[in-house]
Structure 1
Amino acid sequence: MEFGHNDNNNLPLTKFESMLKTNHVLFFDSEEFENIIHYYLNQGKIALAKKAIKLGLDQHPTSINLRLFKVEIYVFEDKLSEADKLLDTLHNIDSSNEEIYIQKANIFSKKDNHEQAIEVLKQALELTTDIVDLYSLIGMEYLFLDKYEDAKTYFMKCLESDINDYSALYNIIYCFEFLNQNEEAISYLNVFLDKNPYCEVAWHQLGKQYFTLKDYNKALTSYDFAIISDDTFVGAYLERGKVLEQLKRYEDAIENYTITLTLDEPTSFALLRIGSCHEKLDNQDLALQYYDRTVHEDPLLDKGWIAITKFYNKKGDYQKALFFINKAINIDSENVSYWKLYAQINQRLKFYEEAERGYKKTLELGNYELNTWLSRGDLLIKLGEPEAAVSNFDQALEFYPENAELEYRLAGLFFTLKETDKATFHLKNGLKHNEDYAFIIEELFPKVSQELLVKNILKEINR
């Protein structure tokens, strides 16, 4: 029996806490101690749970259940060898106690010996009638081993034994999704729904599978049934809104997102999506209002700040866009797309050093798109840093070894640096790969384009 704050059955708990305050030892039967310990563990009050275990074992030294709680504490504190020894002792006393096997499996799992944990849990299955929890534990161990088919099988057993085990249902769908078995997930959910037609969770999951496959009409129908099954199901309204956005039914999407604001505390996700829908409907003032509400609701939601950044960027108000992109980067400084946007905004504001920094950071984060290399290199040329530009384009050539745009830029730079042999080599490479980009020399290096050697090389190609 578990105690609650307003539980009429919590007299033993009150009595126990009174005893701790007075240091006057009172007697409790072993079951009362078990309930007290269970309550403290659920509340995360480990110190009090340990006191209850000690006092319980002082009064009931042969209680296996109280000693199993001691094992649980050992495992929690990562004292696995102590837990193991105590379990061996308990197994010698009562080899048919399934909880001993469960705790043994828990220790194997903590040691990353998941195969052994599964073997022990399967032994426990033969000793208990409460099989659902064991199926779930075995399923989780298979997940640790990345054996998703096996995990799925055991979570399905959970659901067969307890049709309301939504945790198992979520885990089954997780396995299907990880295995990219969306069609199979749909078939499974449809069979499940034939037996449980008012299961809103299953309808919701079915809708998500159809959404992944871009079958938006079927997804919409699934969410309709989820809402019929539970008209307060916030998740179904949110997902329905996402489908309606894909169908470009923005007003209907707004209606669904707005319903969620009345059913529960406003979520930054719903506010952000409403803002986005208003922007697509060209309701600019309303869009900005909802974006503002989004970041007010969750100031650490970088996507909210990015939405405002893009809003002002489209309007050409680059100063405001720069202010808000900085807020997004302060929240997530490892996001490549944010740094790229940061660079583009600074470039439009003619803040070339900051723009170059943005492109450099983008490259450091692993974005090796050709345009990023070109943009950064061109800014270095503009900033009068030819050596840095050469280094940039040389690195780019490792990823794009026969790219004419890079070759012409390197040619222009080496001519600028009076390294004629290297310049000639890259200019001829550029012409070999694509003559049409030769205008780059004149555009980025007008002085170089007037040099006699450059003119002669270009003339040779045009003969």
Structure 2
Amino acid sequence: MHALGFLSEAKEAYGALNYLAPQIQEWNIALAEIAIDEDDYDKALDILLTIDKESDVYPQALLTMADAYQVQGLYEVSEKKIFEAMALLPDEPILDYALAQLYHSIGEYKKAIPIYEELAFGNGEIASATQLHFFLGDCHNAIGEFETALQYLERIPADEHFPDSYFQLGFTYFQLKEYARAISIFNKLLETDNAYLSAYLYLANALEAELELEEALAVMEQAIMRNPYQHEFYTTAARLQLKLNREQDAESNLREAAALEPDLSSIHLALGNLLLKQGRFEELIAYIADRAEQEDNDPQYNWLLAASHNALEDYDSANKEYEAAYPHFADNESFLLEYASFLREEGNWEKLSEVIHQGLALYPANTELLQLHDELHHFDQ
């Protein structure tokens, strides 16, 4: 009953068994597990603490305590309880597996890996080879060891793959820039589980890398139909539409994304860059003013404002915004070149000299900066 989710019925049954045979302490462990499933961790721990330390089931009680502490985020206490159980049963693979799972769940991948490896290549079978290879692939992916991850994930037989293992395999191919293979795997995943939302983004990105933009956009349109509340779907679709010169559609998707995540500056900046590209300078200035009222003060807005005011020949305002942006983009080649060109037109030779020298120190081969430097040198003479 417990395994089927009938917690109340299971609790009554184990309570009755515990009343009839209180000397059998397995009933208490079962009752504690039910309490954990019901998020009543204090009750679970109270039950487990009644189990005699000399009992044969005490190591199991310690492991159940570890579960209770883990789900509460008390990872060090959970680890300690597993170690206590290991001291009582030093050669028990179940405890090794529990420790690896704990480390895996809290991002201690380098600690989990050697334990999983020992379980995968040692004697006994606590988990299937497919599960262990998946866990090892996941851990190696998490620390950027994609080639090693691939070795494990490719060991999973084709008929034993499941959605998460397909995703990790596709993700690994994607990271290794094997986009065609990534596309194949993500398509298989979505055929298996079309609600696996993360796969849509990676599939679209892999198709984009292969320059299959229409196909990538179609994937994102499917994703939006599956879940119209995920802003990344709209921003990715907008990026693809911009590459396909569908600016009106891109703007629509960016505004949808902004409505979903009104405080995410990157969306508003993408929309601002589109307005700038289209020459909608007054609209852009008003849009950024609205963002300022929302306390969104990303320095990239200063750059957008500077370019807009410059295009509208409001040079004093442009100069003010370039000056505000300069400390934040003093290492940005495009900004330095744009700012230097503005300063040349304004005849601000002193500031121009500073910006050119800053630019050439970072980008000595930039021909436009070199030309500006030559012009400045000629002016000084």
Task: Work out whether the TM-score is over 0.5.
Answer: yes
Is the 1:176–1:185 contact (alpha carbons within 8 Å) kept by the matching residues of 2? Answer: yes
Mark the CA change 1:402 to 1:282 in structure 2 (over 3 Å): closer, same or farther.
closer
> Which of these residues, 215, 237, 241, is aligned with residue 274 of structure 1?
237
Q: Which residue of 2 is the match for residue 34 of structure 1?
A: 32
The AA in structure 2 aligned to 1:152 is: I
Is the 2:166–2:189 contact (alpha carbons within 8 Å) kept by the matching residues of 1? Answer: yes
Give the TM-score taking structure 1 as reference length.
Answer: 0.58
The AA in structure 1 aligned to 2:127 is: D
Q: What pairs with 1:60-99 in structure 2 (closer than 5 Å)?
A: 65-66=48-49, 97-99=59-61
Mark the CA change 1:38 to 1:320 in structure 2 (over 3 Å): closer, same or farther.
same
Given the alignment of the two structures, is residue 137 of structure 1 paired with residue 98 of structure 2, yes or no? no
CA distance in 2, matches of 1:401, 1:217: 37
> Which of these residues, 165, 180, 188, is aligned with residue 217 of structure 1?
180
CA distance in 2, matches of 1:231, 1:401: 47
- Tell me the SS of whatever aligns to 1:191: coil
Q: Which residue of 2 is the match for residue 153 of structure 1?
A: 114
The AA in structure 2 aligned to 1:202 is: S
Task: Give how far 1:291 is off.
Answer: 1.8
CA distance in 1, matches of 2:129, 2:286: 49
Tell which has more relative contact order, 1 or 2 (C-alpha 8 A, sep 6+): 2
CA distance in 1, matches of 2:282, 2:371: 40
Which stretch has the larger CA shift, 32-41 or 317-326? 32-41
CA distance in 2, matches of 1:121, 1:253: 51
Q: Which residue of 1 is the match for residue 145 of structure 2?
A: 181
Task: Give how far 1:183 is off.
Answer: 2.5
Q: What pairs with 1:106-255 in structure 2 (closer than 5 Å)?
A: 122-123=86-87, 126-127=91-92, 129=94, 132-139=97-104, 144=108, 148=110, 150-155=111-116, 161-163=126-128, 172-177=136-141, 179-194=143-158, 196=160, 198-255=161-218
> Which of these residues, 440, 448, 451, is aligned with residue 376 of structure 2?
440
Task: Give how far 1:263 is off.
Answer: 2.9
Give the root-mean-square deviation of aligned CA atoms. Answer: 5.2
CA distance in 1, matches of 2:365, 2:11: 83
The AA in structure 2 aligned to 1:185 is: A
Mark the CA change 1:378 to 1:284 in structure 2 (over 3 Å): closer, same or farther.
closer
Is the 1:139–1:155 contact (alpha carbons within 8 Å) kept by the matching residues of 2? Answer: no
Q: Which residue of 1 is the match for residue 9 of structure 2?
A: 9
Q: Deviations over 1:268-302 (max 9, x none)?
A: 11122222323322233222222222222332333
Given the alignment of the two structures, is residue 354 of structure 1 paired with residue 321 of structure 2, yes or no? yes
Identity of aligned residues (%): 15
Mark the CA change 1:323 to 1:163 in structure 2 (over 3 Å): closer, same or farther.
farther
Q: What pairs with 1:305-454 in structure 2 (closer than 5 Å)?
A: 305-324=268-287, 333=297, 340-341=303-304, 343-349=306-312, 350=314, 351=317, 352-360=319-327, 362-363=328-329, 368-369=331-332, 372=335, 389=351, 393=354, 400=361, 437-440=373-376, 449=379
Mark the CA change 1:380 to 1:94 in structure 2 (over 3 Å): closer, same or farther.
farther
Task: Give how far 1:344 is off.
Answer: 3.8
Mark the CA change 1:175 to 1:297 in structure 2 (over 3 Å): closer, same or farther.
same
CA distance in 2, matches of 1:7, 1:104: 21
CA distance in 1, matches of 2:372, 2:94: 78
Is the 1:309–1:321 contact (alpha carbons within 8 Å) kept by the matching residues of 2? Answer: yes
Structure index of larger Rg: 1
CA distance in 1, matches of 2:136, 2:30: 37
The AA in structure 1 aligned to 2:223 is: T
Is the 1:322–1:342 contact (alpha carbons within 8 Å) kept by the matching residues of 2? Answer: yes
CA distance in 2, matches of 1:435, 1:260: 48
Q: Deviations over 1:336-375 (max 9, x none)?
A: 6565445444544432212311223x15xxx534665676
Mark the CA change 1:331 to 1:281 in structure 2 (over 3 Å): closer, same or farther.
farther
- Tell me the SS of whatever aligns to 2:156: helix
CA distance in 1, matches of 2:288, 2:117: 46
Task: Give how far 1:321 is off.
Answer: 3.0
Q: Which residue of 1 is the match for residue 18 of structure 2?
A: none
CA distance in 1, matches of 2:6, 2:180: 48
Task: Give how far 1:3 is off.
Answer: 11
The AA in structure 2 aligned to 1:353 is: K
Mark the CA change 1:115 to 1:203 in structure 2 (over 3 Å): closer, same or farther.
closer
> Which of these residues, 256, 259, 275, is aligned with residue 296 of structure 1?
259
Q: Deviations over 1:33-56 (max 9, x none)?
A: 636742453xxx6xxx54x57xx9
The AA in structure 2 aligned to 1:357 is: A
- Tell me the SS of whatever aligns to 2:254: helix
Is the 2:170–2:182 contact (alpha carbons within 8 Å) kept by the matching residues of 1? Answer: yes
> Which of these residues, 62, 69, 74, is aligned with residue 100 of structure 1?
62
Give the TM-score taking structure 2 as reference length.
Answer: 0.68
Is the 2:201–2:220 contact (alpha carbons within 8 Å) kept by the matching residues of 1? Answer: yes
Mark the CA change 1:308 to 1:218 in structure 2 (over 3 Å): closer, same or farther.
same
Task: Give how far 1:129 is off.
Answer: 4.4
Is the 1:397–1:403 contact (alpha carbons within 8 Å) kept by the matching residues of 2? Answer: no
CA distance in 1, matches of 2:345, 2:56: 81
Task: Give how far 1:206 is off.
Answer: 1.8
Task: Give how far 1:185 is off.
Answer: 2.1
Is the 2:263–2:296 contact (alpha carbons within 8 Å) kept by the matching residues of 1? Answer: no
* Runs (5+) with no aligned partner, structure 2: 13-26
Q: Which residue of 2 is the match for residue 429 of structure 1?
A: none
Task: Give how far 1:191 is off.
Answer: 1.0
- Tell me the SS of whatever aligns to 2:188: helix
